[in-house]
Amino acid sequence: MILTRRFFTGAMVAAAFATAALATAASANTALPFSAEAFKAAQAAGRPILIEIHAGWCPTCKAQLPILDKLTAEPKFKDLKIFRVDFDAMKPEVKAFGARMQSTLIVFKGAAEQARSVGDTREASIAALLDKSL
Q: Model confidence over 21-74: pLDDT tens digits? A: 444 334 445 889 999 999 999 999 999 999 999 999 999 999 999 999 999 999
Q: Which of 78, 85, 134, 79 is nearest to 105 (CA)?
A: 85
Give the model confidence (pLDDT) of 99-111 as tens digits. Answer: 999 999 999 999 9
Residue 2 in any domain: the answer is no
pLDDT of residue 50: 97
User: 38 is in which domain, residue-wise?
Assistant: 29-131
At 124 the three-state DSSP class reads: helix
The pTM of the full predicted model, rounded to 2 decimals, is 0.77
- In a domain, residue 33? The reply is yes
| Total tally of structural domains belonging to the chain | 1
| Strand pairing category for 81-86 and 48-54 | parallel
